[in-house]
Chains A and B, each alone.
Chain A
């Protein structure tokens, strides 16, 4: 079982729709969760992080965390063609003084104009 799992997609949504991206993780001790956006050929860009159960909203983005179900999701409202990218879910795994991120393989989102 992979530590962080995402559907590779592609997830295709029409412009203006809500895109829903999902992620599950295996380590119940994980404390912090991140969503990165990565355009083709570029480095990952942090767009959201969440530490507590529930929802966290930032503009068109909402991150949702359910620790009991070991599930993290990212909702993108009013999707735009410029949102087309790979979305990487990452989980912080702390071991002593080390903070390392464990990434999923990413979900490719395609927003159709």
Chain B
């Protein structure tokens, strides 16, 4: 148990739709990162939030966006879904003041049809 909770666990959407994934980070962890893991691949960094601000982004288009709330929970929004967006979406939290390791939640499996 990492203390990081994601919802929903599974989701099926149609191409062109929008989706919101949610993450509740471990208590006291003020940094949240999102990763996308396609089948057979390692996770790829989407972006990171620290104190409600995005402070790092991977090679993902602007239709991937996020939010972090004052309680450090977070959302990942994806607009105009494409078939290639089908993947496991992982949220990871980090403690403040050091600690570069990331503890993942159970993930959300998104299928775009």
Please list the residues of chain A having a beta carbon within 8 angstroms of any beta carbon in chain B. Answer: 4, 31-32, 34, 36, 42-46, 49, 88, 90, 92, 94-106
Partner of A103, one of B33, B43, B94, B100: B43
Q: Is the interface of A mostly helix, strand, loop or mixed?
A: strand
Residues of A within 8 A of B27 (CB): none
Q: Is the interface of B mostly helix, strand, loop or mixed?
A: strand
Q: B55–A98 contact, CB under 8 A?
A: yes
Is residue B70 contacting chain A, with contact meaning CB distance below 8 A? no
Residues of B within 8 A of A45 (CB): 104
Partner of B45, one of A31, A36, A102, A106: A102
Partner of B43, one of A31, A44, A92: A44
Is residue B24 contacting chain A, with contact meaning CB distance below 8 A? no
Q: Say yes or no: A100-B58 contact (C-beta < 8 A), given A44-B43, A88-B42, A105-B40.
A: yes
B100-113 vs A, CB cutoff 8 Å, 1 = contact: the mask equals 11111111000000
12 contacts between A and B (CB under 8 A): A42-B107, A43-B88, A88-B42, A92-B100, A96-B56, A97-B50, A99-B94, A99-B100, A100-B58, A101-B33, A103-B44, A105-B42
Min CB–CB distance B46 → chain A (angstroms): 9
Residues of B within 8 A of A104 (CB): 42
